[in-house]
Chains A and B, each alone.
Chain A
Amino acid sequence: MVAREQFEMELKAVKDKVIELAEKAKLQLNDSVNALYQANATAAEQVIEKDKELDNIDLDINETSILLIARQQPVASDLRKLIVAIRTASDLERMADNAKNIARSTIHLGENHDLEIHPALDDMRAVANRMIDLAILAYREEDITLAKKLSELDDLIDEMYAKVLKELLEETATDPQKIQLIMQIAFSGRYIERFGDHLTNIAENIMYLVKGQTLDLNE
């Protein structure tokens, strides 16, 4: 079976771009959370600035995929590969937007606050990192067993977020002066939690890619 080699190469290039976007989104998550813990507004600004680059990669994946659909008229698994690339890139771009939001919270908190950033956020970030690595591997290998694990990890992030939110709310009760600042930390927790939701969507995309069926793993 040697045919459509050019198209195969173009499909692979799209896939590589999606993986590149995933790796960059992971970096953005880590840079934004580090900036939050270090109260480093400059680093946070850099995260916001870098988000434009990720937006452009998403745009590039979209345009390339649409062109390939128009020119190659793919069907079956070829069509699914491109649809999944578009969908996944969109989830990754929105993940990066959440990193940008964490950076904004960091800037909002300023560099001179005396709040301790709840350590659970770092644990949530670690789970999100694991999820991104798993998602990249599952997407690269088209492995639905790995994809299914993502929804389990998402449940874990959800639980962690619920716990940290409860603790932060208790803190606002004891220290109402700091409510504005504590809310920024709670928001940041929420933004990390959203990573899990998008990664679960990506798991669904991978299931669709392999099986041709749409499943809801968020339920």
Chain B
Amino acid sequence: MNMIVGKSKQEDQQMKNNAEIVFETKDLNLWYGNTHALKNINLPIYEKKVTAIIGPSGCGKSTYLKTLNRMVELVQGVKTSGEITYRNENILNRSFKVEELRTNVGMVFQKPNPFPKSIYENIAYGPKIHGIKNKKILDQIVEKSLRGAYIWDEVKDRLKENAYGLSGGQQQRLCIARCLAIEPDVILMDEPTSALDPKSTLKVEELIQELKKDYSIVIVTHNMQQAARISDHTAFMLNGELVEFSDTDTLFSTPMDRRTEDYITGRFS
């Protein structure tokens, strides 16, 4: 099946010319054992933009997200073909250093997963692993990261307290701050607000809008309104295939493929 790009070829070309591509996925296939989970995916991820991936459960969107930092390799029996270039280097090459990739590509998960440590230690942990020992520098990183995730004012007076004492929404923003501490290039988010209440969801969404000034963001979400609200581009996946990819305005107003229309209008059985 061919992917439909919801813009004329010239417009699409212009879109590509105007924005740098961070990740380029070419003919990506992925199998879990005998299950063909991703089928011939071709998809660009643009720099300093929010790309949303939507689709029903089991469509392969989380699998795709996890190929971008090669976390998918943690599952036994995974096989891939095709390529994903990150800044023009194929990350699926065995020679590509996965540690380097994960330094550049941070990830935020569905459920906030702070370490059972202080707020400070949660943020300082990554930089420490990367060899930063100087307390003053670590202090600066902690403050900068917490400010970057718009949670500094809420936690600055209790940095030594256990992160588990924070609310769910605060924990998720702490995890985003933790991700920022290693100064990534790209942030992957796997349903980052699905465990949060509407107010916390709004805060995280506002944060994503701020973060895209400095980072490229890929977000998997079940919440279509969220994808419509916060993303610049949207990809719709179904049964392991990429059905449609276009700018979000087009995808949510005049999708090209009937299946996309059925999904976003809730007529999908």
Contacts and interface: CB of A to CB of B under 8 A. Distances in A.
Interface string A74-85: 111111100000
B225 interface: yes
Contact of A75 (B264, B268, B269): B264
A26 to B, nearest CB: 32
A204 to B, nearest CB: 16
Contacts of A76: 252-255, 261, 264-265
Nearest to B228: A75
A3 B267 CA distance: 5
A113 interface: no
Interface residues of B, number: 15
Contacts of A71: none
Given A1-B269, A4-B267, A75 B262 contact: no
A81 to B, nearest CB: 10
Given A76-B252, A76-B255, A1 B228 contact: no
Contacts, number: 37
A4 B264 contact: no
B224 interface: yes
Interface in B240-269: 252-255, 261-262, 264-269
Interface in A94-149: none
Contacts of B266: 3-4, 7
A97 to B, nearest CB: 31
Contacts of B252: 75-76
A115 B268 CA distance: 64
Contacts of B254: 76, 211-213
Contacts of B267: 1, 3-4
Given A75-B252, A76-B254, A212-B254, A1 B268 contact: yes
Contact of B265 (A2, A78, A212): A78
Nearest to B265: A78
B33 to A, nearest CB: 31
Contacts of A177: none
Given A75-B224, A76-B252, A2 B269 contact: yes
A73 interface: yes
Nearest to B224: A75
Nearest to A8: B267
A75 B252 CA distance: 6
Interface in B198-228: 224-225, 228
Contacts of A73: 225
Contacts of A79: 253
Nearest to A74: B265
Interface string A207-218: 000011100000
A121 B264 CA distance: 49
B264 to A, nearest CB: 5
A79 B228 CA distance: 14
A107 B78 CA distance: 84
15 contacts: A1-B262, A1-B269, A2-B269, A3-B266, A3-B268, A7-B266, A75-B252, A75-B253, A75-B264, A76-B252, A76-B253, A76-B264, A78-B265, A211-B254, A212-B253
Given A73-B225, A79-B253, 11 more contacts: A1-B262, A1-B267, A1-B268, A3-B267, A3-B268, A3-B269, A4-B267, A76-B252, A77-B261, A80-B253, A212-B254
